Amino acid sequence: MGLPVLASKHGADVDKLIIYVHYLMAVLFVGWILYFLYALVRFRKAANPKADYVGLKGHLSNYIEAAVAIVEIILLVGFAVPLWAHAVDEFPKMSENPTNIRVIAQQFGWNVFYPGADGKFGNRALSFVTQENPWGIDKNDPDGKDDLAPMSNIIHVPVDKPVIILLTSRDVIHSFKLIAMRVTQDAIPGVPIPLHFTPTKVGVYQINCAQLCGLGHSSMSNGRLYVDTQEDYDKWLASQPKSSGGGAVNFE
């Protein structure tokens, strides 16, 4: 049906729901057009010279409405609710060794943070925020000594491995959208919101903002998600500089 490229494990269920909804809408569209044409002929002036204020009597329309409602309930209960439950409840376990990333949206770009080899982020607090340390990173926290320097509009993840992103915003509401991964999540100031997906295809994919966030909203689509082989991801990770508290805050 002309859907965008699919590159995530759960995306097939999303596409299946979209396709079934479109099938239902196609049937309704054709049905209503046929009914409209029938009404034009059946109730034309020549066949009904005198207006009938009672109209037709019957239960066919009620049966059709009930059938449509049943199909919609099946789509909701059988597909939409289980898909949502999986996205919300079934987060990757620590035993799956997920890739943990923090993304902070701002006008107009994405700030991306990675932990170091220990897999732990250093503490952050407002009391540590300075001009040189805009993210409030605690430089005395040993967990943060090996954290990577913040980067702009670039996310790297290994293929076939769960990814957990902790998402928030530093100014207005944005919406983090990875079309190829079938992921969309609002980024709300001051509210860290986790999301997850498992990429299945190596490639480069666009990051979009699905929420109008200001005059530079279109610039949010400059972000790129790189899905690498594990070997390429490890090389990229090893080549990145460590954090000093600054970086990735000014988007032109």
Residue 216: CATH number of its domain = 2.60.40.420
The whole-number average pLDDT for the span 128-151 is 87
Return the structure tokens found at 83: 């898909």
Q: Which of 162, 164, 166, 185 is nearest to 175 (CA)?
A: 185
Chain mean pLDDT for the chain: 89
Domain end position, chosen among 89, 106, 134? 89
Q: Are residues 81 and 159 in the same domain?
A: no
In contact, 24 and 75? CB cutoff 8 Å: yes
* pLDDT tens digits along 140-171: 888 888 899 999 999 999 999 999 999 999 99
- Domain count along the chain: 2
Tokens 């620590």, residue located:
94
* pLDDT tens digits along 50-85: 877 777 777 777 888 898 899 999 988 888 888 777
Neighbours of 22 (CB within 10 A): 12
pLDDT for res 57:
76
Confidence at 247, pLDDT banded by 50, 70, 90: low
Q: Are residues 186 and 73 in the same domain?
A: no
- Rama region for 248: left / alpha / beta (φ>0; ψ in -120 to 50; rest): left
pLDDT for res 130:
86
**Distance (Å, rounded) from C-alpha 23 to C-alpha 16?**
11
Q: Which of 49, 113, 107, 137 is nearest to 251 (CA)?
A: 107
As a whole-number percent, the residues of the chain with pLDDT over 90 amount to 52
Q: Are residues 108 and 79 in the same domain?
A: no
As a whole-number percent, the residues of the chain with pLDDT over 70 amount to 96
Residue 115 in any domain: the answer is: yes
Domain end position, chosen among 67, 89, 111? 89
Domain end position, chosen among 65, 89, 113? 89
Q: Residues 119, 124, 128, CA angle at the centre, nearest 5°?
A: 145
**Distance (Å, rounded) from C-alpha 227 to C-alpha 236?**
11
**Distance (Å, rounded) from C-alpha 64 to C-alpha 70?**
10
Confidence at 230, pLDDT banded by 50, 70, 90: very high
**DSSP per residue over the chain, as a string?**
--PPP--BSTHHHHHHHHHHHHHHHHHHHHHHHHHHHHHHHHT-TTT-SS--SS----SHHHHHHHHHHHHHHHHIIIIIHHHHHHHHH-PPPGGG--EEEEEEEETTEEEEE---TT--PPPB-GGG--SS-TT-B-TT-GGGTTPBPPEESEEEEETTS-EEEEEEESSS-EEEEEGGGTEEEEEBBTB-EEEEE-B-S-EEEEEEE-S--STTGGGGGGEEEEEE-HHHHHHHHHHSPBP-S--S----
pLDDT for res 154:
96
Domain range holding 102?
Answer: 94-239
pLDDT for res 242:
82
Residue 248 in any domain: the answer is: no
